[in-house]
Amino acid sequence: MTLLKNKNLPIYAVIFAIIAKLYFLLTHHIQEDAFITWRVAQNLLDYGVIGFNGNTKISASTTHLYVFVSYFFNLIFGKDNFIEPLLIFNTILFTIGSLFLSHILFKNNWHKAIFIFLFGILPPSIKISILGMEYGILFFLEMALLYYGFQKEKKWALIILPVLILFTRIDTVIFLGIIFLVDIFWNKKIKWSFVLGGILGIALSVAFNWFYFGEWVNNTIVAKKLRYDNHFTLQQDFDYFRLNYGNFWGMVKLPGDFNPFMILIALFELACFIYLIRQREKRNYFLWIIFLFAWTKQLVFLSQKSLFDWYYWVPQILLFVPVIIFVLEQKVKRNLWLSLLIIFYILPMLAFQTVHSIATGNGEWNYRRSIGLFLDVYEKDKKQWILLEPAGYIPYFSGLKTIDEVGLVDKQIQTEIRKDKPHYWINTVKKRKPKYLLSYNNLFEDQDSAYYKDHYKLLKEFRIKDHLKSDNKILEKIYKLKPSGSDYNLYEKIRN
């Protein structure tokens, strides 16, 4: 009878974990790039074209599958009401993915339930769930592959799930590659169904890009590589790693160029992993997969100078899995270990993420979105162009055609970067003559100030300090404690 009661504990944990995270919807902390994907989905809805600016095809989003999912949510709920249902959907999928992971790692249902809840309220899990990116779907698909494909050994999962995973993000070839290598090493044979799934996934993703967009890989990859390409010496590479490692191996971003706290966490994660894999158990097969994948992805992306923190969410949370297992399976003083973990790590991390989400939500939803809403009211002709960076909130809420500095949503600026990278911004302005310029800098004090003064006027200044006030004194303290956002100057073209 007790076993029957305990059988449903993981399901109850899934429900509680979902509910526990829903209050983050109130913070309006949504990742900038999510709005790029959602505008692409709405462009497909309005023009029948996967693009960003009207009927021009461009793979402005990093993810194809999530574009189609977002398209259907827009279709069902409407453009004004789809965001919350989609964020809840992402949260549900991520939490079900954690349920699959718990089935792989534990036999005891109490352990599964505690794991699901604690795992689900850590900062990377909250960000994967609520911030609007494709990682909720991706985590669900990846954990479903491990559970159904390699735990249950279902051939359909080995064929279909790699296709969906690769169509979500092409860089998941790292995840699938690690699984392939560990599986061969562990089982001494090749799962040909999995190989077929991988081949089909790569073929579908590449073929879709080529036949629809006329390119082998997503435009976002090309644009970021072109814009952020820097040639570093060995010493510069080392300095770069020293300055940034703490942001990617840890759960949270902290200021400063030395982060001993993150070193301790990384070492503890590694120690727990080594402790757990001393014996050749079936579970350790999966621990090897997730741990090697997490380290490999972080090293690959950090080596490529990829500073976008969402690339690291899934590795961050997977690296912490051995810690939770280690604590839950202590034979002596387990409750003490668990209490220490919750009091000194889980709860502080949850508190930090809450403060971070409130502050960032204010800086992006309340502040950056207000710039887009201002332009939406001010400029009724949605065929007018704006040059800015980044291409998320402001283009989405203004509805204007957009040239972004990186070239994620407009390929023509990439041509200017290739021709003359130091001067590509002013060259784009002179050639394309966008009606609006939005800049972090005062263009009238720029080296090309004469041109700007002759052709543009300062329309409005947007300052983050004006958005650090609230009737709620606690919120105001959080806003001022961790201000989020940048100052902008908005310029309008002078009619000649």
Task: Give a yes or no: residue 206 inside a domain.
Answer: yes
Do 177 and 239 lie in a common domain?
Answer: yes
- pLDDT reported for residue 255: 57
Q: Which of 329, 349, 380 is the last residue of a domain?
A: 329
Task: Give a yes or no: residue 358 inside a domain.
Answer: no
Share of the chain above pLDDT 90, in %: 70
| CA-based nearest residue to 232, from 296, 300, 305 | 305
Do 288 and 384 lie in a common domain?
Answer: no
Do 382 and 489 lie in a common domain?
Answer: yes
Task: Give a yes or no: residue 60 inside a domain.
Answer: yes
DSSP-derived letter for residue 462 is E
- pLDDT reported for residue 253: 63
Q: Which of 329, 347, 377 is the last residue of a domain?
A: 329
Do 149 and 72 lie in a common domain?
Answer: yes
- pLDDT reported for residue 45: 95
Do 71 and 175 lie in a common domain?
Answer: yes
Q: Which residues contact 332 (CB under 8 A, 6 or more apart)?
A: none
Do 8 and 76 lie in a common domain?
Answer: yes
Task: Give a yes or no: residue 346 inside a domain.
Answer: no
Q: What is the mean pLDDT of residues 302-317?
A: 83
Do 375 and 272 lie in a common domain?
Answer: no
Question: Please, which pLDDT band fits residue 484 given cuts at 50, 70 and 90?
Answer: confident
Q: What 3-state class would DSSP assign to 417? A: helix
Do 396 and 268 lie in a common domain?
Answer: no
Tell me: pLDDT of 248 over 80. Answer: no
Q: Which of 307, 329, 351 is the last residue of a domain?
A: 329
Q: What is the mean pLDDT of residues 187-194?
A: 94
Do 321 and 372 lie in a common domain?
Answer: no
What's the pTM value of the predicted model, to 2 decimals? 0.94
Q: What is the mean pLDDT of residues 48-59?
A: 92
Do 177 and 28 lie in a common domain?
Answer: yes
Exposure letters 224-246 (e unless 16+ CB within 10 A, then b): beebeeeeeeeeeeeebeeebbb
Q: Please write the tens of the pLDDT for every residue from 69-82.
A: 999 999 999 999 99
| CA-based nearest residue to 406, from 38, 58, 31, 42 | 58
Cβ–Cβ under 8 Å, residues 176 and 166? yes
Q: What is the mean pLDDT of the chain?
A: 90
State yes or no: cis peptide before 390, omega within 30 of 0.
yes
| CA 190 – CA 182 distance, rounded (Å) | 11
What tokens were used for 37? 């994907």
Print the domain residue range for 412: 368-493
Q: Please write the tens of the pLDDT for every residue from 116-150.
A: 999 999 999 999 999 999 999 999 999 999 999 99
Q: How far is C-alpha 82 from the chain's CA centre?
A: 19
Q: How many domains in the chain? A: 2
Task: Give a yes or no: residue 75 inside a domain.
Answer: yes
Tell me: pLDDT of 199 over 50. Answer: yes
Task: Give a yes or no: residue 164 inside a domain.
Answer: yes
**What DSSP string describes 224-271?**
HHHHH-----HHHHHHHHHHHHHHHHSSS--SSS--HHHHHHHHHHHH
Do 317 and 414 lie in a common domain?
Answer: no
Determine which helix (DSSP H) or strand (DSSP E) holds 459, and give its type and residue range.
Answer: strand 456-462
Do 230 and 322 lie in a common domain?
Answer: yes
State the Cα torsion 293-298-304-310 to the nearest 10°: 110
Task: Give a yes or no: residue 359 inside a domain.
Answer: no
Partners of 385 in beta bridges: 401
Determine which helix (DSSP H) or strand (DSSP E) holds 77, and give its type and residue range.
Answer: helix 64-77
- pLDDT reported for residue 1: 43
Question: Please, which pLDDT band fits residue 279 given cuts at 50, 70 and 90?
Answer: confident
Task: Give a yes or no: residue 38 inside a domain.
Answer: yes
